[in-house]
Amino acid sequence: MSVEKIIADWKKKLFKPVYWFEGDEEYFIDKAVTYAENHILPESEASFNLTVFYGKDANWADVINACRRYPMFAERQVILLKEAQQMRDVEKLEAYIDNPLSSTVLVVSYKDKKLDARKKFTKLVKDNGVLVTTKKMYDRELPEWTQQMIHGRGLTITPRALSLVVDHIGNDLTRIENEIEKLSLNLGKRKSITEEDIEEYIGVSKDYNVFELQSALATKNLPKCIQIIQYFEANPKAGPVQMILPSLYNFFSKVFMVFGAGTQDERTVATSIGVNPYFIKDYLQAARVYAYPGVEKALLLLHQYNLKSIGVGSSSTEDSSLMKEMVVKMLS
């Protein structure tokens, strides 16, 4: 069951006695726990019927005793156990989870860890409550997830602006949500997010970014490539080499896949290599300009210079110099 489905059930006053949120993606865990803390109970009931424990300081017996209390002047009480991965003897909660009260909603945050599926404790959580295991979102999933969040706010975003947001922020869902919230507040009555908005409110240049560098490489425009790299040199946070090289490697890997698509139809190729049709012209252009041997060479250079960027075979060269050297070799 997803966090979104659980929150939807909570809004309908549908509750299980135990919710255990575990795994690698803190965003979804925090989203569920924050909702439980602030919205399951009305404010008038929360002062008597909301109890929050923190794993590092909590005693398992105190948690169980709190869970076994009956609510005061209310239909239910909420018990939150945050950072449960830091709690000693957390599995001693088994005594309560084996026979929970229907009037108590126990919500557990168990970050960066997972219960052992072979143990009786885990089976009890599944049988008597809801166990949600979160996973880090794959980079390829970020654009669609971000776009759905934007659409959920009644907004739209241009493909280029969406890519700028995702590429700049990376796999930090909380930060993506915060930046989208900031954008929505600054749009006023407008409903469409543009590249200019990303530049003004998030601070990503619409002219000097990894996508513009990809486009310049796709057409073998060396002056433009050097200009963008010099911008990165003057603005290190705008284009750290550790972000640029993987992005370029992903770009040329997709270009390499163009040769196996077996067609020149843009939409078919876009679907085949897994890119937004809006950007497919850059990939097809690069495939034509570099040809098969040139793309192989580009991928090899990207691998070599990625090693150099972490000090393998090049201990003192500045990142911008490495980038310029690589680009010249790639375009020669």
Q: For every residue of 266-330, which 3-state class applies, written as one string?
A: HHHHHHHHCCCHHHHHHHHHHHHHHHHHHHHHHHHHHHHHHHHHCCCCCCCCCHHHHHHHHHHHH
The predicted pLDDT at position 45 comes to: 94
The first and second tokens of residue 79, run together, are 């018990």
The mean pLDDT value for 100-110 works out to 97
Nearest to 247 by CA among 332, 139, 175, 135: 139
Percentage above 70 pLDDT, the chain: 99
Prediction pTM value: 0.79
Instruction: Quick: pLDDT tens for 224-248.
Output: 999 999 999 988 888 888 889 999 9
Give the angle subtended at the CA of 143 by the CAs of 7 and 133, to the nearest 5°.
40
The predicted pLDDT at position 178 comes to: 94
Instruction: Quick: pLDDT tens for 22-55.
Output: 999 999 999 999 999 999 999 999 999 999 999 9
The predicted pLDDT at position 315 comes to: 59
The mean pLDDT value for 54-74 works out to 95
Nearest to 233 by CA among 330, 167, 323, 326: 323
The predicted pLDDT at position 3 comes to: 93
The mean pLDDT value for 133-157 works out to 92
Strands (DSSP E) found in the chain: 18-23, 50-54, 77-82, 104-111, 130-134, 156-157, 192-193
Structural domains for the chain: 3-134 (3.40.50.300), 139-201 (1.10.8.60), 210-331 (1.20.272.10)
